[in-house]
Structure 1
């Protein structure tokens, strides 16, 4: 556990980079761990698949996000939104952990792939806020109808 936390101590202040690097680190390290693969795919009759979105997992995920030098609030993430981002990241990670049959993405490829698909989710709060500001400015003010002269 300490090894994982120490690995993300690198100073990253960009929200997208922080999320992508955290996911890449987890994917690259956890997919190699046979115990994780066994836990995710093997179960006896009647057992349920372990949850990667448990309260403990969400708490750990949020603590990982807070280790970066990212100003999450400035990026549009209040506490509730960070919980949602943590859950989203855990669900993405889960898919990479259970579906290892497809060719794994190594090197820069997982970064490119995740930046393309996860990156927009991370910038969405800022984008939505900016679009809200634009629509407020761009909205025409109600006009009164001119009366024709008779």
Structure 2
């Protein structure tokens, strides 16, 4: 009976449903607080004991990772709209990087994992992060093949860009530098990185 009093009186019918509802509750709490939340806080919002949440997510860190993953598709949709129509690779990459850094700074769903206080910032160039980066860059209206990129070189560009963004997360941009100034700064140096793969003229 005690279990039925939890979950708002409507207990989940499967482990998959329970996991989804825990993540949804955590997403709501993160949006309200603007930061990481504990397993106890999520359990309290669902009306269950902490051990119930612990069964599905052994640590708050694991739950926060799930929260970020749940937010990825929505972020990528917004990013796609933001970079639509930009065909120049350097401009697209720079615009995407600036937009992502702003999202990390202002969106708790992404910031929880990628903020300097999170252990996950050390993993921004991990395989998981690179896969996320590839999903980002594939949303751009850029013909990467035309600019000399195959899959291997595109993955290297993604890794390089992630490492640049990580540096701004660990040491945030100077508030005195405007978004336009940051854009110009990144365009100058990321632009050179993009051009490094410029096709060589045929003999």
The TM-score, its normalising length taken from structure 1, stands at: 0.73
Structure-2 separation of matches of 1:33 and 1:115: 24
Matched, 1:32 2:103: no
Describe the shift of the 1:107–1:85 C-alpha distance in structure 2 as closer, same or farther (beyond 3 A).
same
Aligned residues: 128
Please list every run of 5 or more consecutive structure 1 residues that lacks an aligned counterpart in the other structure: 137-150
- Corresponding position: 1:105 with 2:177: yes
- Distance 1:19-1:48 versus aligned 2 partners, 3 A rule: closer
State TM-score, norm by structure 2: 0.55
Q: Give the superposition deviation at 1:77.
A: 1.0
Shift of 1:37: 6.8
Moved more, 92-101 or 2-11: 2-11
Q: Which residue of 2 aligns with 1:95?
A: 167
Where 1:71 maps in the other structure, the secondary structure is coil
Of structures 1 and 2, the one with the larger relative CO (CA 8 A, separation 6+) is 1
Deviations 1:83-114 (A, max 9, x none): 10000010000000010274363321111000
Q: What is the correspondence of 1:43-122 to structure 2 with a 5 Å cutoff?
A: 50-100=122-172, 102-103=174-175, 105-122=177-194
5+ residue gaps in structure 2?
A: 1-71
Query: Does the 8 A contact of 1:41 with 1:98 survive in 2?
Result: yes
Greater fraction of residues in helix: 2
RMSD after superposition: 2.5
Name the CA shift for 1:110/1:3 in 2 (closer, same or farther; >3 Å): farther
